[in-house]
Every structure is written in C-alpha cells, then in structure tokens.
Chains A and B, each alone.
Chain A
Amino acid sequence: MLGSCKEVVTLYAVVALLLRWGVSLHSYSGQNTPPMFGDYEAQRHWMEITHKLRVEEWYQNSTNNDLLYWGLDYPPLSAYHSLICGIVAHRINPDFVSLHSSRGHESYYHKLFMRSSVIVADILIFIPAILWWCLEIRRYGARWSKLNIGFPQAAFILTYPGLILIDHGHFQYNSISIGLMVAALAAFLRKSNVIGSVLFTMAVNYKQMELYHALPFFFYLLGICLKEERVMDKLKTLIKIGFSVLLTFFFIWLPLFNADSVIPAITRLFPLNRGPYEDKVANFWCSASVIYKFHRAWGNVGMARACLAVTAIMVLPSCLNLFKYPSMKRLHLALVNSSLAFFLFSYHVHEKSILLVAIPVALIASEGWGSNSARFLLCLWFLSVSTFSMVPLLARDGLTVPTIALSILHPLLSTLIISGFQSTQKYSSLWMSMHSSRKFQGAVILSFIGCTVLTLAYLTLPPPPRYPDLFPLLISMFSCAHFLPFFVYFNYLQLTLPK
C-alpha cells in the first residue's frame, strides 16, 4: 500500500483535476461556428438571460428572450446556478453577459471563466460527493463484502473519460446533477433517508434527465417505508420522506410560482416536438430505424407512446424487485437498470444521456475489487464503450485528441491502481481472471478492436455520398449491440441477488 487513505485520495483528486484541466485546454462545442454555436454558448446565454431578465421572463418567449435561440430548458436549480455564474461573469467583464450584444461572445478570458466555473462545480460538488460515497460504501462494506473497497474506486470514477470530456470539453454541468445523485446514495448508505431524498430532489431539479434514476429511488424509499413493522412507523417514514421531497420542490419552484411561469417552464422541460432522439444515439430506436422507420410510421405522439410503453415494461422487473426487497446493493443495480432502460427505449434521448448510466455502472464496479474482478472488468468495458459511443459528438467538437488520450488513460490508470492495491502475490489476479475465461477475453478484445477500427474509419475515411451518416450510425449500432446484452446481464444480476 502506498500510504494512508487520506493521502492517496488527495493524490487521486489532484490527478482528477489535472485531467480535467487538461481537457479544458481544448476546444468546446460550437467553437467559432456561428450562428447557433453549441452548448457552450447555450450555457453562456442562460447566464445572460437569468442575470438580465426577471424570473417570470426566464422560460417565456419575449422580445428579450428568444426561446428559439438556446431558450432555457433545464429546471430552476440550473437556472439559479446560471444566475450565480452570470453575476460573477458580470463582475469580471460585463461584456460576457450583456443582453443581446453578447450573443456568440468568445474570447480567451471568457473561455477561462467558463472552464473554471465547471472546475469549481467539480471541486464543490462532484469530487466531494464521490469521496463521501466511497467513505460510506467503505463503512457499509463490512456487511456488503469483507474487502477493503472504496478508495481505489474513487480514482476509477473520478477519471471516467465520458464525464470529463462532456463537462470540460464539450461543455455542460452534468457533474452537478450526477454529483447530487451520488451524494443522495451516500446519504442513504448512512441511513439518513430524508437528506438523501432532498439531495436527489435537488438533482432532478438541476437536470430533468435525472428522472432516469427517479423510479429506483422512489421504489426503494417506498419499499423501506413498507418494511417497517408497525403501521404507524410506516406512515411516519412515508410522511417524513414525502414531506421533505415536496418541501424541496416547493422551495426550488417558489420564485416561479410567484411569477406564474410554472406551466411554460414545464413545457420547456419536456419537449415532445423534438423527436425520439438527437443525432445518432446508441439506443434501440435509433439502431432499429435501420430496419424499420417506426418514427415515420407512428409520428411524434405515437412514437412517444410506444417509447413510454416499452420503457415501462423494461423498467418494471427491476423496480418491482427493488420494491419487494429494498436494499442498498439492489438500489445501485436498479439505478443502472433503470437508466439503461430509459437510455435504450425512452423518448428524446441524447447521446450524452449515457453518462447517467455510466456513473452508476462505475459505482457498482466496487464489488469486483477483490474476489470477483470479472465484475470490475465488465464495468470497465461498459465505461469504455460508453465513451466510444460519444466519439462522433466529441470529434465534432474538436476533442479527438483528448478523447483518445483519456480513453487509454482510464483503463490504464484504474487497472494500475487496482493491481497496486491488491496484495503482492495476487497483483496479477486481475488479468488472471480475464485469462481464465477465453470466451470473455475474446469478446473484450474483439470489442476493443471494433471500437478502434470504427473510430479510425470515422476520423479518416470519407463517408459514401449516399450515406453521409454511415459511420456515426455504425458507431451507434455497435455500441447499442453492447448495451443491450449489458442490460440483460445487469438485470440478471439484480434479479438473482440473494434476498
């Protein structure tokens, strides 16, 4: 062992920050591409809108707020964050957020400001949340497994390339909502269900995408309530949790209640008219569209209904199982299953939504640290494929070099750390377990070769003129071909857990 836990964790945090800032040096989405630019401009625009306009105007179309130009479509907590950033930006340089005239503002110092704001969010929320979770899982680990899990996992999660590339390269603040969700898990591990539900409610109110995780949380809490022996206790727990959730919602939406703009905000959050998926997504509908264009046959509304039905069916087994036997271990697995079901089958899916699956997958890898390293390798494999599925998006943003670098760094670093944490004699057992199963080994190698070949083809070969989207589509289908079996496998894992 290298040193005490505190010291080693500090090292991990420094490495995580270094990788993040390394990605920050590169370009962002929509750099130098007027008139619409990209997510970077969207975030900047929200700072401008929230800082300059009154609350009631935030979600309403008006002469000052053209919703067609990156209108605000995230819940209020996100908007408040934009407001804070907007205030800071205004103090640094009023040109960053001046109404109308700042559209498409790009400069060296503005990039510096924006990049720092993401790093600050990571330092304040994401990294502490992950470390807290690791600490709690370590305590919990006494019952979960006898091995000293927890801290090597911090490095594994903190260096996950997908999140770093999207947040610090492409430009978004996903780490805030995901960090809040992980913090909620940590609170649950501590048995403080009220704090956990408040944290998760905040996560949902930061980004509605967190609803992918809402069902497992809901069923877990409900299951916990019903597990109490006396009826009074059942009611008491239920009321406590329900009240805290409602209260959190109430306070977050309070300014909007006053301004009477709740309905416009909600219609902004759930856009039915934007189609079942953005670009080429590695989900079921996009991959199946090669064979049959459901979307054209059923129309947007019909499609949305179909998505709802299929997603509900797919989520049901895992949720009911969790409801019946609520436990932390099952909750973690259910989070993976639910978010993966939403990613694969739901309506209006972004390729970035895979992050919501990837982080829970990184969390459940912990069981594989010692005795069962196949689990760890599977999770590592999933994370690598999830980053790969975003290659077209990242390459479009000019992030090819950091994507390649991080995709290699992450498996390297995590296996290095895990093998370092194992005892002397067994330091190679990680790879031994892989060697033991020839089929598994072959599958992983084939998959990595496939990823490499497709990435190279996408980056170098010109697509045939008849199919300009050939390579992104192939990448989506290839990733989807991974995600579907993974979905089955993770469901199998959850359903076969001992009670």
Chain B
Amino acid sequence: MAYELKVVIFAYTENNVHIHLKDRRKRAGYFEGENFSATMTGGLVQEYEHTVLPKISPQTTFFLVFLSVLLLNFSRSTDFEVHRNWLAITHSLPISEWYFEKTSEWTLDYPPLFAWFEYGLSHIAKYFDPKMLDVNRLNYASWETVYFQRFSVIFTDLVYAFGTWECCIYLMKSSVRKSSKWGSQWASPSAVLSLLLLGNAGLLMVDHIHFQYNGLLFGILLISLSKMLQDQYLSASFWFAVLLNLKHIFLYISPVYFVYLLRHYCYKQRYPGVPFKRWFIQSSCQLAKLGLTVGVVFLVSFGPFIVMGQLRQPALLKLYWAPKNPLHFVRCLVLCAFGSFMFGWHVHEKAVILMIVPLSLLAVVWKREAEVYLLLSTVGHYSLFPLLFTPFEIPIKVLLLLLHSLYAYISLSNLFHIPRKLSMVPFLSRVESLYLMGLLPLFLYENIFQSSLGFDKRYPFLPLMLTSAYCAIGITYCWLKYYLHFVTMSEVIHKRKAY
C-alpha cells in the first residue's frame, strides 16, 4: 500500500515537472520564433539573463509614497468618518456587537477579516489619540486622527507595492513577452507595468484623497494573481480567500478563481495511461487540500454567498476548456469583473478599478489589450471624478488622471512601436479618439458652464448623470470590444505575442 502510494506520488511529481517543462518550452518557443527549434533541441529554455531587474520599482514606490504624503490633506470624506467609526466600534465594543452597533449611520459592513484589521489598527491608534476610538464622538477629527488615518493608508499601500513587485518579477522571469526593451530602465515591460500599477490614478484618488484601503486589498489581489501565474495554486487561493474576507466586492471575480483552480489544480486533464480511478483520487486529494486552505481562512471569517451575473458564463466555459495558459486566467478575471460591473447589483463606481488593475498586466504584453486598457483606464478613472468634488481637489484629480493617462499612452505606444499622429490618440481609432476628447467638454460643462448657465439650481444632478452616462458608454464599449477580442481569440493567437 505504502509502495503504491509512493509510486503515485512519484508519477504525480514527474508528471508535473514534465508538464511544467513542456509548457515552458512551448511558451518560449512561440515567442522566440526563429529560435524555436533550437530551444526545443536545447532542452531547457534560456532565461533572459541580460534583463535588468526593475530597479526603478522600489524608487517609484518611494516616489508614490511621498507623493501621497504630500497630498495628505485635511478634507474629510464620508469614508473617512466611516473608517474612523469602524476603528471605534472594533476597539470599544465586544465582538458580538460589532455588526449590530448602530450609533452612527455608518455601520460596519465589511467582512470580518476587515473588522479584525481595523481592530488591529485601533490598538496603534490609541497611542495617537484615544478620543477617536469613542463610538459616540461622531465626525471626530483631530489632527492626530487625520494623520493616523492617512498614514495608515500610506503604510498599507506598501502591500500594493509588494504585489506590484511580484507581478513585475513574474513578467520579467517568465519570458512571456520578448522585447528588445528588456534592458532599458524605463521602457521595459515590467518597468512600465510597475509605474502603471503604482501610479494608478483611480487608487490614488480613492485611497489618498477620498479615503479607503484599496491599496491593501488590490495588493493582496496582485500577490494572489502572481502566485496563480507562477502555478502556486495553494498560496494563490489562500491569498484570495483572505481577500474575500476583507472585502466582499472581490466575490465578483471569485467564479474565475473557482473554475480555474478546479480545472488546473484539482481535476487536471487525464493523461492516457493513467487510470480514471487514480486520477480521480489524486484530483480529489488536490481539491481537499485546496478546500482546506480556503476553509481555514473562511473558518476565521464566515461562509460566503455568491452573486453571479449570468453573462459571465461563456467566459467561464471557455476558461474551463482553454489550454493552460496562465495569462488567460487574468483575461477571464477582467471579463468577470466587467460582467459584474455591468450587470451586478449595487455596484460602486469604484469597482471599475477591479478591471483596470488586472488589465494593466495584460496591457504591457498584448497590443490589443493595451488598446482596451488605455480607453478603459482613462474613462474609468474619469468616472471616479464625482468622488472628489471640493474645489481644491479638482486640480488634483485632473492632474492625476492626466499623469497616468499620458504616461500610459507614451510608454505603451513606445513599447509597441506605435507611430504617433497628431490627429489621433495612439492606439485608438478616430471615433474612439473623438469620444475620449469628448471628456474635455464634459469636464468643462460640469465645472464651469453648469453654474454659469444657472442650471445648478434647476438640475443639480445633471452633471453627475451626464458623467455616469458618458462613462457608461465608454465602459460598455470597452467591455464589448474586449469580449469580442476574447471570444475570437484563437488558441494560436493568444499564445503568440500579438505584434
């Protein structure tokens, strides 16, 4: 019995290694083109040894940390008070009352792990100003409170920086995209990716000017993604389970995780010669391992319930049958987030970041996806504008969006060698460029003409409506375009580099 088990394990590991190698070869072969046969005969794939580690990544991290320190300001949004209230609730009340406390209208409505996170924070907060931990002090904001809360966001942002770093390392090592620019400090795909992710205008706006801990959450998402891409399924699912228990918005993308793990970690393709029974037992063991990991996390927290939009099904089906190509997983993730953003129930405008962040990963690899990314990130970040509405914040949001979009257009068109024309935005067609330019009159109307025409009294919500309608057009268009791209993507194409 013991012997047989050993054999099984041996066969399993050997199989795994074999698949791994074959996969490596296949991937590298496709990208290297003329070197294909050489690599096949040479056996092991040559890693790109001349690649420069994205040294700029730590420096850009510091840059953005201190940029957010600079932008640290005293205007307080509702979310600022929401989080202060949660600090107070978790600190001063017994656990049993956390979810029933209703002194403030901002009741605790994040999953338990986030409550634990706030609980942990509150134990640091008490050294700054214990008064902020009083449930009855609504809208309390001493300067210590402001500093503490703002700096807590800045510090937890380091998780995001770490996630970015992990993804960049993956991208660099995986040889998933061959580029003559790998040696360049500024223009290599991983350097571009690190700046696109770290400088994400949406996150800067929502976290540091408004107030939320999305940096922490998306950092964990990126860590989980990078683990997934490196085939470390258990730790990937662990991090994702943690994420789900921090904020339930990530349930939107959980179906992709579920299907992908089921197919590529648990019930893998059965190789000829492996008896069905053994295959099934092995697979079920894997499932049990996975279940245990996730279960432990959820045990700390609680059981989820899943709300799924119907339209995501084809994407999932395709994922189930698609051959193993890890970036395809990210693609499905984006589509799933799109699906729930378009058709989900009670969707926040902030959920648009959920598409933009994973799509950044693909944008530095495939040209078609860069096209969608550019349009989506510009429009999506613009759709976050209503969050920041005080006059002092208006220049900041405009400059942040401008900076991120300009950088994205410049660096990506440089990466894919897109010629620049004056009449058109690079990557975009004439209609798309026109649509993008339309954001300018929209912005001007919203901030200048609305009040000068005297509409602000009669139609106070007109600008908001216009913004969301206009952005909805763009986001729907991006979704359709991306969906079409995804569906028509043949197996050969999505494995090959796209230009």
Q: Tell me which of B184, B185, B395 contacts A21 (CB under 8 A).
A: B395
Contact: B406 with A416, CB < 8 Å? no
The CA-CA distance from A394 to B186 in the complex, in Å, is 34
Query: Are the C-beta atoms of A416 and B183 separated by less than 8 Å?
Result: no
Per the bound structure, the CA–CA distance linking A9 and B392 in Å amounts to 25
A3 touches B411 (CB 8 A): yes
Write the A406-429 contact mask toward B (1 if CB under 8 angstroms, else 0).
101100110110011000100100
Query: Which residue, A4, A7, A115, A119, has most C-beta atoms of chain B within 10 A?
Result: A7
Residues of A within 8 A of B67 (CB): 18-19, 22, 405, 409
Bound: A405/B71 CA distance, A: 9
Asked if B249 CB lies within 8 Å of chain A CBs, one says no
Q: Which size class do B's interface residues fall under?
A: 20 to 34
* A25 within 8 Å of B (CB atoms): yes
B185 and A427 contact, CB distance less than 8 A? yes
Inside 8 A of B186's CB, which chain A residues have their CB? 1-2, 420
Q: At the interface, yes or no: A63 with Cβ under 8 Å from chain B?
A: no
Is B396 a contact partner of A11 (Cβ separation < 8 A)? Answer: no
Task: Determine the chain B residues whose CB is within 8 A of the CB of A14 once the complex forms.
Answer: 399, 402-403, 406
Q: Which residue of B lies closest to A111 (CB)?
A: B392
The A interface is mostly helix, strand or loop, or mixed, namely helix
Q: Is the CB of B406 within 8 A of A406?
A: no
Assembly CA distance A19 to B391 (angstroms):
17
Q: Is A78 interfacial (CB 8 A cutoff)?
A: no
Taken together as a complex, chains A and B put the C-alpha atoms of A119 and B71 apart, in Å, by: 16
A472 CB to closest chain B CB, in angstroms? 23
| A308 sits at the interface (CB 8 A) | no
Interface of B is mostly: helix
Question: Size band of the A side of the interface?
Answer: 35 or more
Most B CB contacts (10 A, CB to CB) among A26, A112, A424 go to A424
Given contacts A7-B406, A412-B59, contact A25 B73 (CB under 8 A): yes
Given known contacts A3-B410, A11-B407, A18-B403, A419 and B185 CB-to-CB distance under 8 angstroms: yes
Instruction: Report chain B residues within 8 Å CB of A115.
Output: 392
Q: Are A2 and B410 in contact (CB under 8 A)?
A: yes
A413 to B69, CA, bound (A): 15
CA–CA, A119 to B392, complex, Å?
Answer: 13
Question: Are the C-beta atoms of B70 and A22 separated by less than 8 Å?
Answer: yes
- How many Å lie between the Cα of A499 and that of B413 in the bound state? 46
Whole-angstrom CA separation of A415 from B185 in the bound complex: 12
Distance, CA A487 to CA B396, complexed state (A): 39
Is A11 a contact partner of B52 (Cβ separation < 8 A)? no
Evaluate contact between A401 and B187: CB separation under 8 angstroms. Answer: no
- CB-CB under 8 A from B48, the residues of chain A are none
Chain B residues within 8 Å of A432, by CB: none
| Contact with A409, one of B63, B399, B420 (Cβ below 8 angstroms) | B63
Q: Mark B61-87, 1 if CB is under 8 A from A, else 0.
A: 011001101111100000000000000
At the interface, yes or no: B56 with Cβ under 8 Å from chain A? yes
Please determine whether A19 and B70 come into contact, CB atoms closer than 8 angstroms.
Answer: yes
Q: With A and B bound together, what is the CA distance between A424 and B187 in angstroms? A: 11
B residues within 8 A CB of A424?
52, 183-185
Known A-B contacts: A14-B402, A405-B69, A409-B66. Give 19 more (CB < 8 A): A3-B413, A4-B420, A11-B410, A14-B406, A15-B403, A18-B400, A18-B403, A22-B67, A401-B70, A406-B66, A409-B63, A409-B67, A413-B63, A415-B59, A416-B56, A419-B185, A420-B56, A420-B186, A424-B183
Can you report 26 residue pairs joining A to B where beta carbons are below 8 Å apart? A1-B186, A2-B187, A3-B411, A11-B410, A14-B402, A14-B403, A18-B403, A21-B395, A22-B70, A23-B70, A25-B71, A25-B392, A115-B392, A401-B69, A401-B70, A404-B69, A405-B66, A405-B70, A406-B66, A406-B70, A409-B63, A409-B67, A412-B66, A416-B59, A416-B63, A420-B56
Interface positions of B (Cβ within 8 A of A): 52, 55-56, 59-60, 62-63, 66-67, 69-73, 183-187, 391-392, 395-396, 399-400, 402-403, 406-407, 410-411, 413-414, 420
